[in-house]
Each structure stands twice: as structure tokens, then as C-alpha cells.
């Protein structure tokens, strides 16, 4: 699944303006799910796919702890599914009670591999039609099947339980038949509905989101990744609508059912696959398509979006990316089609359903008149991420969710490779350092972090599974796999990868299976390593955190230590390796790359790293290693001098690294905060994007800590001084803002220049923004603001303006016809400095007719990012926690984002006590997948308090000294 809480360049700019950067840093790039509403039990309503039937109210048990199989969250290993026949009929109009429902029939054929008198099959929020007094019927493929003794729904563990009068026979195949009704709710999970307005008419889409545990909301199934089967899907749908599923449509007939004229679409059987990859959609969408090497590629979206050409860019890049991965994996795409569809309501970034990938509209639709270059990059990257899963994740699937990190981490790494192939001029591969490595460092440096791989027995409940969709799984997974590919070489990495995919096609694995194949490839190609792939990588996978590697160039001594943002925090999680790692070290001396080294123990001596005179050493070239680097004071001074006098001698990625490492080493009290601030002095001469972005990300922590204190003024004055030359640079190369910079990264840094110049009070910038926005307000049908600049222009204009600017932005948001433009405006609305408008905006987050459910929590976080909105958002979340939790479901990862977002600025004893009280007050309600985020918020608040006590005066003095007028 794609990264759900995506921080676009535009939102990142808004974050800078609001003083949020550390929010963008710590907030997981993870996937969000909005789960079920409070349980609703629709009955059959007299409309089924077959003859009229009656619906029984099934007995519901009260969950009590026991050792009974139905009270365990994992399926017993006695039954293995072979195939399903599924017929579903979603109603796109409400029934006489105003409820949207779907009805269905399912037949699953399974084999008994261990004698049992019990059938457990997952089911959640489905009502069943009785067969002879039971919730299902059972037949044997050959011979007699035991009769059913009793059947019931076990709601806590989400099972349909069928107790038999005799044992199922080992080796025999059986068929379980059910008829059921469910609610086609707007809860973004399972089989759900999405609504939108088109040409003044309300439209409804029936669509799905199964991962991780919501296929059971659509039909009864063995809903675990290892329970692969073939699925035969039939969809019944209204005349004039289109039905889609994983397989290609094989035919559509017109029929009459329950006095209704409907269409019945049948699909090719799927490949053998996991339930979480299923998809079925009914809509009146249209598509554009092309065929490449016998693979049909189709882009589906709202009619107006396709007519406006918004699907063309996705169609253009899908073919090249698909062909890239065929070469990369040395494996043909295994399906006859690749459908991609943009949905108005979708809580993740995208979902890799095999053959029918679902996306948020912002992740698939592009319009050159409205979309920025960051929107374009997001589309290419997410398409690449999802297509990577077609092999890694879909063809070969991890056995259980505890190894989710390998599935998502791998796709998060190779998405950069696929996007780079589609858009080679962007240099997008470099951005993994900012977007994944640096951001996950912030989470993984906490004592409350967790290892990449969890024990299988520790991940049982749906909420526990959802909690794994976090920055560690995605971004740390990507970072360590990039490191592995680098020290193996990409050629050897892909040889092992191809062997792994061929061996386990249509099957399931554990992460060490990949290590086996990579080790075999390494040995066959004579790649020298200090240990086996298993031994090296298990140090990075089985223990949390990462090291800081310290280089003493006076002695050549190199050592490592577990890096913690708060050095006084207590690590309670034991490590099998005592928090030591086997560290690959790529380095340079005086700008020339040297022979790579390995740090295999806590410390070692590398004679070649000794320096004398003006010689300098730089370690972790291009940040391919997952670790931070510190130096002796003398080498730091030399590096600062190189930055100031000859910055290009240091690769651009490492200029960004030096800034990021220095600020974080300072927070961990390893170097002084003043030394970290000194890494920003050279920026007045820097024009490259990555170092500037790294500095702004880190200075945003200073905004969070100081935007309510006397440090704020001198800090603003310093940053205004530093950014003014960059602002003037872009004014010059764009011919006074009339042209667009040529380079992809230059376009990004132009946004930084305007954003920072305006937010630090450069009058020329503020006048420019006001002029552009006022021109648009005076002629709303003609917006001449360049799409790349809209996020920063909108936010600064709303921040500097009053109710008129805010109301105008709200009106444009409501009328926006492309999701990326709506997102820019939604973010800008959080920039106002008027508390009453922010309170009004907070209320809108609970009204899905204004703010879609998929955007509610991120909107609250944007408001909290605004220093004026911080306390308002915190009060709002506390007052509405029970309602929000009930509406969005305890399994939704958006809770982690929400809790992190509204508490990021906390740095006082009063706020700490409020946070602890919030934890106590809502203990009965719970925090679901946000449970760990509450603990991290408390840990982070304590660390912020200590940091302020130790650094506030030093920081104030430094900013004052740097901005005082010299005589």
C-alpha cells in the first residue's frame, strides 16, 4: 500500500510557514485506514442475488477470554481454501431506511488438512441468511459432509463459527455456502461507498479497501495473507454502470432481479492470491487506455476528470514503469491487464490490489494547469510503488503481517528507481534521503521505537496489524534495503531478488527467505562481505534504532553507539545484539572517494582516516548507510570551512547530511547547538534544494520550540538574512518571476525561497504574494499563479489576510474540480491567524460534506501546526476524542498522525500534565493504533522540556549575535 500520510512539497511548504517542520519529520509516511463506524446490522431488505429468503438475527456472543479456538485471533491450521465463487450486488441508492447495502452469496471450497469438527471463517459486520436454521450450508466435494450442530458470529475475533456434528476428514474437500447482507457504509474499509458531485448530481461509487483485515467485511473468507486462493467474482450492478475487479471482464448480461433491470458482469478467475489484494468496484467512470506488449493499461476516473485529460500523465508513465520492473525483476508482468482507478474517498495513498490498483485522486490525476511538479512527482512515485508490489507482495507474499516491513519497505525503496526511469531528469533517487532516511531517523531515535521485524505471536489483533503501517516499516525498511543493495551491488541484489520471486511465485515467505537468495547470489558473484547477508542484516532488522558513528581524525579511531535523541531516556527493549551494528562505511578524503570500510565491532582504528593539516574526512557518502556521523571538533571545523569556501567539494546529498546530522547530534547533546546552527551560515551562498530543505526541516524544530518565546524575533531576522540571497537568485533566473526554473529540484527550491522569505517578513516577497492573490480574488475564473507556487502563495496570503481571504479560499476549495488544487486550498485554510476562523475550520473536520473523512485528521494536524491553532486543535481533539475514535476506528493509523501532530509543539510542564491526563481520561475509550504515539508524545515532550532548559539562552544569544549590526 502506498504511503497514506504523504507530505507533498506543497504541504511541506505550508508546514514551514506554520512552523511545523518537525511534524513533517516525525509524522509517519504511512498508510491510513479509516475503519468501521459503530456496528450497524442491516437486514436483507427483501433484495438478494437469488430467490427471496429470510434473514436470521444471528446469536452474538459476549467476548470473554478463553482458550477456545474462536477466541483466538489467528485461524487454526486445519483448513486451506482452494477457490471462492463470490457474487455481490451493491446498491448505489439507499433503501427505504436511508441505508446503502450490498447483498452477496459466497461459496468457498477448502481442503481439510487436519481433522476437525470446527469451521472458523472470518466475518465482520455481515448478516446472514439462514439455511435450515444455520448461518451457512456445508457440502462435500465427494462423499458426505457432517451436519451443522450450531453456528454463530464471534464479534470480538471476527469469526463466523460453525460447529459440526462430526469431523471433517483429512484430505477431503468441502464447500461452504453463505448468503449475507452488509452495509455499503462510508467508512473507507471493506466494501464501502464513495460519493461525489458531478454536474450538479450526486454520484455513488461502490469500492473496496481490504488491507489488512477488511475483506471479511465484504464476504466470509479465510482472511490471512497465507490463505491464498483463486477468486471467481460476479458483480451485479445498475444499468449504465461499469463493474471492475482483479480479473478481466469476460462478459456482461442484462437480467431482471427482484423486479429490477440490472447488469451481471463476470470476471476471469484471479491468480492464486491473498484476500487483502481483492478489489471490486461499481461506478459510472470512464477510462483511457493503451496496450503495451499484450498488457492492457487502463486509467479510470470520474467522467469530467478523464474528459479534462487528468488521467493522461498516469497512462504515459505506467507503461514505462511496468516495463522497468519486468527488467528489474527479470520476470514478466503476470496479468493481462493493469487497471488504475482514482477514488474521491480513499484513506491510503494507494492500494496494490492485483490488477486493479486504487488511488486517492491526488495520487493519480494530473492537470498541468493546476498540479505542481511535486504533485507530478507524487503520481509517478506512487504508481511506481504500487506496480512494484505486483511482484513483490502480490506474486510473492509475506506469510504474516509481522514481516510487513519487507513488503512496504521494498516498494518504498524501488519506487524511486521506477520513478527515476520514467522521469530521468528529476534525479528523484536522491530524494529518498530527505523523504525517508532523515524522516524515519526522527522516529527511530526514540527509546519507544520498535524493530523492523516483530515476533509473529506479538501481532494478532487487527489494530496491532494496522499499527505496523508506520514510518519504521515503510521508510526504515526502504533505507536498510537501499543500504543492502548498495553493498551487494545492484546487479547482485537483483539476481537474488529474481531467484526469490521465481522460487516462491504464488506462495508465501518469511523475510529470511530473501536473505537466503541474496546470500546465494553474493557467493556466486564473489562479493566480499565481513559476514553473511543474514548476520549483517539481522543486526538492522531485529533491533530498533541505529548507531551514530564517530570518527576521530586525530587518531583514526572509529566507534559506534546507539543514537537516542534524548540520551537520558531508558531503553527497555532488549536487543539480541546489544545495540551494536555491522556498519558499511563509504567515505571520502579531501573530496576523493576512498576504499570502503566496515565497522564490525563497537570500535576500531582505521589508520587511513587520520588527518593532518587542512585534510578533511567525510563519512557515509550519499547517505547510503543507515546511521548518523559525528567527528572530532577539528574535522567539524574543516568541514564548516569547506562548506563556506568550496561547498561543491562535498556532494550535495552530504551537504544536506551535514546539516541534518549536526542538528540531531546537538539535540542528543553530542555536539553543541551552536555548532549545529553554524552549519546554516553558508546557506546564504547555497542554491541547491537538498541542503536548504534539510536546514528548513531542522530549523522547524526551532520554530516549534520558540515561536511562543522571545527567541522568535531574532531567529526570524537571521533566517530572513540567510534566505534573501536565495530569493534574489530565483527572482533573477525567472526574469522577475515570469519564468519557471528548468530543473526539478530548482523548482522545489524556488518554493522554499518564496515561502521562507515571505514567512520571515521580507516585504518584497509579501507584496508579491498579495499582488498575485488579489489578482485572483478580483477575477476568480482566472488564476495565473504558477501551480508550483500555489501552496506557498495561498498559505501566505491567507496568513496575512483576514476573513475575506479565508472565505475566498474556502469558496475556491468547495468548487475545486481537481483534488490536488483542493488539497492546496485545504492546507492554506489552516494558515489563518484568526482563532475564530480556525475554530470554525475545526468544526468542519467533523462534517464530511465539507472535509472528506479521508482528510479529517490531516486537516486537524495542519491547524495544530499553526501556532495560533495549536491550543485550539488540542482542545478540540480532547473534547471530541471519543467521537473521533468511534467514527474513524481504532485500527486507523491516522490516529498516530493525529496524536503526533497535535502534541509536537509541547514543551512545558503544563502541557506534559495535560497529555498525561488525556491518556488517563481516555483509557476506557482507548487509542487503538495510536497507543504507541501517546507514549512517544510523552517521551518527546519530556525531551523538548530538557532541550529548552539547556539551549534557549544559547540559541537566543547566537541569533542575536548573528543579526546585530556590526560597526
Q: In the predicted model, is pLDDT for residue 11 greater than 80?
A: no
Residues belonging to the active site? 386
Longest dimension (CA), the chain: 101
Cα gap 112→576, rounded to integer Å: 39
* CA 203 vs CA 187, 193, 305, 851: distances in Å: 17, 10, 14, 17
- What pairs with residue 160 in β-bridges? 121, 153
pLDDT digits (tens, 9 = 90+) for 235-275: 999 999 999 999 999 999 999 999 999 999 999 999 999 99
Lowest mean pLDDT among 32-36, 373-377, 436-440: 32-36
Structure confidence at residue 66 (pLDDT): 81
* CA 793 vs CA 347, 758, 775, 941: distances in Å: 27, 9, 12, 32
Percent of the chain whose pLDDT exceeds 90: 83
CA 665 distance to own-chain centroid? 27
Cα gap 346→323, rounded to integer Å: 27
Structure confidence at residue 888 (pLDDT): 66
Q: In the predicted model, is pLDDT for residue 277 greater than 50?
A: yes
Structure confidence at residue 828 (pLDDT): 97
Structure confidence at residue 634 (pLDDT): 97
Total Cβ atoms within 10 A of residue 609: 23
Q: In the predicted model, is pLDDT for residue 18 greater than 70?
A: no
**553 close to 564: Cβ distance less than 8 angstroms:** no
Name the 3-class secondary structure at 545: coil
**DSSP strand E in 100-147: where?**
101-112, 116-122, 126-128, 137-140
- Closest to 657 (Cα-Cα) out of 703, 619, 631: 619
Please give the angle made by the CA atoms of 471, 474 and 475, to the nearest 5 degrees: 70
Structure confidence at residue 28 (pLDDT): 33
Place 17 in a pLDDT band, splitting at 50, 70 and 90. low
Cα gap 912→49, rounded to integer Å: 56
| Mean pLDDT taken over the chain | 91
Cα gap 318→131, rounded to integer Å: 47
Q: In the predicted model, is pLDDT for residue 463 greater than 90?
A: no
Taking 3-state DSSP, the helix, strand and coil percentages for the chain, each rounded to the nearest 5, stand at 45, 20, 35
Please give the angle made by the CA atoms of 825, 475 and 433, to the nearest 5 degrees: 80
Phi, psi dihedral angles at 184 (to 5 degrees): -85, 75
Cα gap 607→558, rounded to integer Å: 10
**580 close to 455: Cβ distance less than 8 angstroms:** no
| Residue pointed to by grid coordinates 474540480 | 817
Place 1 in a pLDDT band, splitting at 50, 70 and 90. confident
Name the 3-class secondary structure at 162: strand
DSSP H or E segment with residue 767: helix 763-778
Phi, psi dihedral angles at 102 (to 5 degrees): -135, 150
In this prediction, residues 663-677 reach a mean pLDDT of: 96
**335 close to 245: Cβ distance less than 8 angstroms:** no
Name the 3-class secondary structure at 178: strand
DSSP H or E segment with residue 168: strand 159-168
In this prediction, residues 778-798 reach a mean pLDDT of: 96
**906 close to 940: Cβ distance less than 8 angstroms:** yes
* CA 255 vs CA 15, 49, 234, 238, 261: distances in Å: 54, 11, 13, 10, 6
Helix 853-865 vs helix 9-18: crossing angle, to nearest 10: 40
In this prediction, residues 664-675 reach a mean pLDDT of: 95
- What pairs with residue 597 in β-bridges? 585
Place 884 in a pLDDT band, splitting at 50, 70 and 90. confident
Q: In the predicted model, is pLDDT for residue 24 greater than 60?
A: no
Total Cβ atoms within 10 A of residue 68: 12
pLDDT digits (tens, 9 = 90+) for 97-107: 999 999 999 99
The x, y and z cell numbers of residue 486, run together, are 548498495
Structure confidence at residue 46 (pLDDT): 30
DSSP H or E segment with residue 287: strand 286-292
| Residue pointed to by grid coordinates 506474486 | 395
Structure confidence at residue 15 (pLDDT): 53
* CA 490 vs CA 505, 518, 521: distances in Å: 22, 11, 11
Total Cβ atoms within 10 A of residue 339: 23
CA 488 distance to own-chain centroid? 27
**444 close to 571: Cβ distance less than 8 angstroms:** no
Helices then strands, counting H and E runs in the chain, come out as 30, 31
**DSSP strand E in 600-642: where?**
603-605, 617-619, 628-631
The x, y and z cell numbers of residue 202, run together, are 450526486
CB-side neighbour CA atoms (13 Å) of 319: 14
pLDDT digits (tens, 9 = 90+) for 684-741: 999 999 999 999 999 999 999 998 899 999 999 999 999 999 999 999 999 999 999 9
Q: Are strands 260-267 and 230-238 parallel, antiparallel or unpaired?
A: antiparallel
DSSP label at 475?
I
* CA 960 vs CA 663, 712, 761, 817: distances in Å: 19, 11, 17, 47
Cα gap 817→370, rounded to integer Å: 10
Place 660 in a pLDDT band, splitting at 50, 70 and 90. very high
Cα gap 358→187, rounded to integer Å: 16
pLDDT digits (tens, 9 = 90+) for 201-214: 999 999 999 999 99
Q: In the predicted model, is pLDDT for residue 568 greater than 80?
A: yes
Structure confidence at residue 60 (pLDDT): 45
The b/e string for 300-315 (b: 16+ C-beta within 10 A; e otherwise) is: bbbeebbebebbbbbb
| Residue pointed to by grid coordinates 536565495 | 726
| Residue pointed to by grid coordinates 516498494 | 411
Place 658 in a pLDDT band, splitting at 50, 70 and 90. very high
Cα gap 811→789, rounded to integer Å: 20
Cα gap 932→893, rounded to integer Å: 11
Structure confidence at residue 924 (pLDDT): 85
Cα gap 909→942, rounded to integer Å: 8
**314 close to 273: Cβ distance less than 8 angstroms:** no
Amino acid at each position: 500500500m502506498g504511503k497514506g500520510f504523504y507530505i507533498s512539497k506543497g504541504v511541506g511548504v505550508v508546514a514551514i510557514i506554520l512552523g511545523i517542520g518537525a511534524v513533517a519529520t516525525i509524522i509517519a509516511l504511512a498508510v491510513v485506514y479509516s475503519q468501521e463506524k459503530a456496528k450497524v446490522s442491516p437486514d436483507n431488505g427483501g433484495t438478494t442475488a437469488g430467490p427471496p429468503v429470510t434473514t436470521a438475527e444471528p446469536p452474538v456472543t459476549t467476548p470473554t477470554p478463553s482458550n477456545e479456538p474462536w477466541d483466538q485471533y489467528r485461524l487454526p491450521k486445519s483448513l486451506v481454501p482452494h477457490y471462492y465463487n463470490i457474487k455481490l450486488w451493491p446498491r448505489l441508492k439507499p433503501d427505504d431506511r436511508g441505508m446503502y447495502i450490498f447483498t452477496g452469496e459466497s461459496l468457498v471450497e477448502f481442503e481439510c488438512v487436519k481433522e476437525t469438527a470446527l469451521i472458523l471463517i472470518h466475518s465482520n459486520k455481515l448478516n446472514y441468511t439462514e439455511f435450515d436454521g444455520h448461518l451457512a450450508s456445508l457440502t462435500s466435494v465427494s462423499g458426505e459432509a457432517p451436519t451443522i450442530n450450531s453456528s454463530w458470529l464471534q464479534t470480538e475475533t471476527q469469526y463466523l463459527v460453525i460447529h459440526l456434528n462430526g469431523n471433517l476428514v483429512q484430505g477431503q474437500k468441502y464447500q461452504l455456502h453463505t448468503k449475507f447482507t452488509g452495509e455499503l457504509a462510508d467508512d473507507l474499509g471493506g466494501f464501502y461507498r464513495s460519493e461525489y458531485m458531478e454536474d450538479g448530481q450526486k454520484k455513488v461509487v461502490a469500492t473496496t479497501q481490504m488491507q489488512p483485515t477488511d475483506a471479511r467485511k465484504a464476504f466470509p473468507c479465510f482472511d490471512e495473507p497465507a490463505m491464498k486462493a483463486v477468486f471467481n467474482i460476479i458483480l451485479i450492478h445498475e444499468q449504465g454502470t461499469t463493474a471492475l475487479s482483479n480479473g478481466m471482464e469476460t462478459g456482461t448480461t442484462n437480467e431482471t432481479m427482484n423486479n429490477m433491470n440490472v447488469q451481471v458482469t463476470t470476471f476471469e478467475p484471479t491468480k492464486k492470491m491473498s484476500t487483502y489484494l481483492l478489489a471490486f468496484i461499481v461506478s459510472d467512470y470512464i477510462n483511457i487506455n493503451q496496450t503495451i506488449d499484450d498488457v492492457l493499461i487502463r486509467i479510470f476516473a470520474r467522467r469530467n476528470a478523464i474528459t479534462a485529460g487528468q488521467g493522461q500523465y498516469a497512462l504515459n508513465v505506467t507503461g514505462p514503469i511496468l516495463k522497468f520492473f519486468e527488467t528489474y525483476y527479470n520476470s514478466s508482468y503476470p496479468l493481462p491487464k493493469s487497471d488504475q482507478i482514482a477514488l474521491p474517498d480513499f484513506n491510503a495513498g494507494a492500494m496494490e490490489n492485483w490488477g486493479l490498483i486504487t488511488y486517492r485522486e491526488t495520487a493519480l490525476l494530473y492537470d498541468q494547469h493546476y498540479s505542481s511538479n511535486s504533485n507530478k512527482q507524487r503520481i509517478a512515485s506512487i504508481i511506481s510503488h504500487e506496480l512494484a508490489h505486483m511482484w513483490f507482495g502480490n506474486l510473492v507474499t509475506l506469510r504474516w503481517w509481522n514481516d510487513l516491513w519487507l513488503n512496504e519497505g521494498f516498494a518504498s525503496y524501488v519506487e524511486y528507481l521506477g520513478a527515476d526511469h520514467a522521469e530521468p531528469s528529476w534525479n528523484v533517487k536522491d530524494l529518498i534521503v530527505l523523504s525517508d532516511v532523515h524522516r524515519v531517523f526522527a522516529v527511530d531515535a526514540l527509546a519507544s521505537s520498535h524493530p523492523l521485524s516483530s515476533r509473529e505471536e506479538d501481532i494478532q489483533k487487527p489494530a496491532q496489524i494496522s499499527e505496523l503501517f508506520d514510518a519504521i516499516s515503510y521508510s526504515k525498511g526502504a533505507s536498510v534495503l537501499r543500504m543492502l543493495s548498495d553493498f551487494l551491488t545492484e546487479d547482485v541484489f537483483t539476481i537474488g531478488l529474481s531467484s526469490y520471486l521465481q522460487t516462491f511465485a504464488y506462495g508465501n515467505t518469511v523475510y529470511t527467505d530473501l536473505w537466503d537468495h541474496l546470500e546465494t547470489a553474493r557467493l556466486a558473484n564473489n562479493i566480499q562481505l565481513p559476514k553473511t547477508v543474514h548476520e549483517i542484516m539481522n543486526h538492522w532488522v531485529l533491533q530498533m534504532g541505529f548507531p551514530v558513528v564517530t570518527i576521530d581524525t586525530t587518531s583514526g579511531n572509529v566507534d559506534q553507539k546507539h543514537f537516542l535523541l534524548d540520551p537520558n531516556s531508558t531503553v527497555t527493549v532488549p536487543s539480541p545484539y546489544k545495540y551494536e551494528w555491522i556498519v558499511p562505511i563509504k567515505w571520502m578524503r579531501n573530496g576523493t572517494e576512498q576504499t570502503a570500510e566496515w565497522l564490525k565491532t563497537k570500535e576500531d582504528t582505521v589508520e587511513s582516516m587520520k588527518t593532518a593539516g587542512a585534510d578533511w574526512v567525510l563519512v557515509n557518502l550519499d547517505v547510503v548507510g543507515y546511521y548518523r556521523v559525528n567527528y572530532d571538533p577539528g574535522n567539524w571545523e574543516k568541514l564548516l570551512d569547506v562548506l563556506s569556501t568550496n561547498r561543491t567539494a562535498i556532494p550535495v546529498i552530504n551537504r544536506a547530511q551535514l546539516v541534518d546530522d549536526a542538528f540531531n547530534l546537538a539535540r542528543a547533546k553530542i555536539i553543541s547547538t551552536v555548532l549545529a546552527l553554524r552549519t546554516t551560515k553558508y546557506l546564504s551562498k547555497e542554491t541547491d534544494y537538498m541542503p536548504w530543505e534539510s536546514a528548513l526541516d531542522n530549523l522547524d524544530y526551532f520554530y516549534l520550540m520558540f515561536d511562543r518565546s522571545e527567541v522568535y524575533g531574532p531567529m526570524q531576522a537571521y533566517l530572513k538574512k540567510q534566505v534573501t540571497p536565495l530569493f534574489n537568485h530565483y527572482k533573477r533566473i525567472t526574469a522577475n518571476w515570469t519564468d519557471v526554473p528548468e530543473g526539478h529540484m530548482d523548482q522545489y527550491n524556488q518554493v522554499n525561497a518564496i515561502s521562507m522569505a515571505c514567512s520571515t517578513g521580507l516585504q518584497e516577497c509579501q507584496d508579491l504574494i498579495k499582488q498575485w492573490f488579489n489578482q485572483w480574488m478580483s477575477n476568480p475564473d482566472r488564476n495565473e499563479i504558477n501551480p508550483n507556487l500555489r501552496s506557498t502563495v495561498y498559505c501566505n496570503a491567507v496568513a496575512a489576510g483576514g476573513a475575506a481571504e479565508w472565505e475566498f479560499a474556502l469558496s475556491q476549495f468547495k468548487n475545486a474540480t481537481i483534488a490536488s488544487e483542493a488539497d492546496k486550498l485545504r492546507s492554506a485554510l489552516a494558515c489563518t491567524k484568526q482563532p475564530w476562523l480556525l475554530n470554525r475550520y475545526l468544526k468542519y473536520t467533523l462534517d464530511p460534506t465539507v472535509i472528506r473523512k479521508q482528510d479529517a485528521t490531516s486537516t486537524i494536524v495542519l491547524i495544530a501546526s499553526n501556532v495560533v491553532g495549536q491550543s485550539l486543535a488540542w482542545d478540540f481533539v480532547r473534547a471530541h476524542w471519543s467521537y473521533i475514535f468511534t467514527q474513524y476506528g481504532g485500527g486507523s493509523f491516522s490516529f498516530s498522525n493525529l496524536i503526533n501532530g497535535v502534541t509536537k509543539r509541547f514543551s512545558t510542564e503544563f502541557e506534559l500534565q495535560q497529555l498525561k491526563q488525556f491518556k488517563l481520561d481516555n483509557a476506557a475509550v482507548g487509542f487503538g493504533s495510536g497507543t504507541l504515539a501517546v507514549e512517544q508524545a510523552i517521551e518527546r515532550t519530556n525531551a523538548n522540556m530538557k532541550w529548552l532548559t539547556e539551549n534557549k539562552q544559547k540559541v537566543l544569544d547566537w541569533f542575536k549575535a548573528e543579526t546585530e549590526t556590526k560597526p
